[in-house]
Amino acid sequence: MFFTLQAVLFNETRRNQGVMTMPERRVDVLKEECYGRLDVVFPAGTEGLREVPERCFECQERVACMKAALASPEGIEMQWGMVERDSEKGWRGKIKRWSRRKELNRSQKGGNG
């Protein structure tokens, strides 16, 4: 079964009726080997596309875990690759790529804005 990270986050947001809340994290969940690891919670599939494993849908911490994975150095590197592969042409595409690069650069430096 194929699910994208955006679909998972959208469905979770919808379940929360548009209110994004960070779930209370249990200490045992944070100690699990899979929490926040991009290669485990959002691995590349057979065709090179990233997929969310079915076992993640059973976890109470799936959204926070996936957000942590995207905020990790590997996640930011993956997002840089997505920006570089963006094929939108014209000045609008250039501005969107510049803005995203700036945001990712801030994330790498640990700043909020």
pLDDT in tens, 72-99: 999 998 888 888 888 888 889 889 989 9
If one compares 57 and 22, the residue with the highest pLDDT of the two is 57
CB 35 within 8 A of CB 66: no
Handedness of CA 39, 24, 107, 96 (dihedral sign): positive
Exposure class string for 57-88: b at 16+ Cβ within 10 A, else e: eebebbbbbbbbbbeeeebbebbbeeeeeeee
Are 93 and 51 found together in one domain?
Answer: no
Are 66 and 88 found together in one domain?
Answer: no
pLDDT of residue 16: 54
What pTM was computed for the model? Answer: 0.60
Considering its fold, how many domains does the chain have in total? Answer: 2
CB 38 within 8 A of CB 72: yes
The rounded distance, in Å, linking the Cα atoms of 45 and 51 is 6
Average pLDDT score over residue span 27-33: 56
Are 53 and 7 found together in one domain?
Answer: yes
Are 34 and 52 found together in one domain?
Answer: yes
Residue 17 has pLDDT above 50, yes or no: no
Task: Provide the residue range defining the domain that includes 106.
Answer: 72-113
The rounded distance, in Å, linking the Cα atoms of 31 and 74 is 19
Range name among 17-26, 57-66, 74-83 with the lowest pLDDT average: 17-26
Q: Tokens 């994208």 map to which residue?
A: 4
Are 43 and 98 found together in one domain?
Answer: no
pLDDT of residue 102: 92
